[in-house]
Chains A and B, each alone.
Chain A
């Protein structure tokens, strides 16, 4: 995984949940599409992903979501894809920096989980 310097970790729960949601969408984009890039996710889809257990169970409202997206765009972690199926709906996707920031955060969390396991704070072989 790339470890280029990005915004400081640990990330806030909202930023982490947004990165995770967009990364999940990008990963599930079929590779058969060739050079065409993934069109991104709109606000409510990101909200739903964040609230789901796999997204960290983070309860994001529209204010927190778009405030976080605004700052993440300024930091270069996400971008608007330009896709539009409704004039009010805006779609977002990860940039390379967003991908690497998420990777760094996941490695940090993974190291913490491994450490917790070795200390017996988590059952061995459990999901991480």
Chain B
């Protein structure tokens, strides 16, 4: 899963204190729900990204516990009010324990 590159878009990377940054994320993943059956009638096992976190300098400021009712190629749009300059780390965790990760630098005046 290390080779999956998530798409991340911040509407701005530089804000005054108290300012809001809109974050959009999109990552390629089939999000196999565990509800489908293959052509032999066997259930295709569930395999989804079950957690998403957005950390600022190592501290989680937004996260989501994801279940199989989230569509494939999960898309999240949210807004943060960062209090300090630093590194935003976005992490998605798969049922099999593997991680997808990306970072963005932001500046807070």
| Chains A and B belong together in one complex | no
- On B, residues with C-beta under 8 Å from A are none
- On A, residues with C-beta under 8 Å from B are none
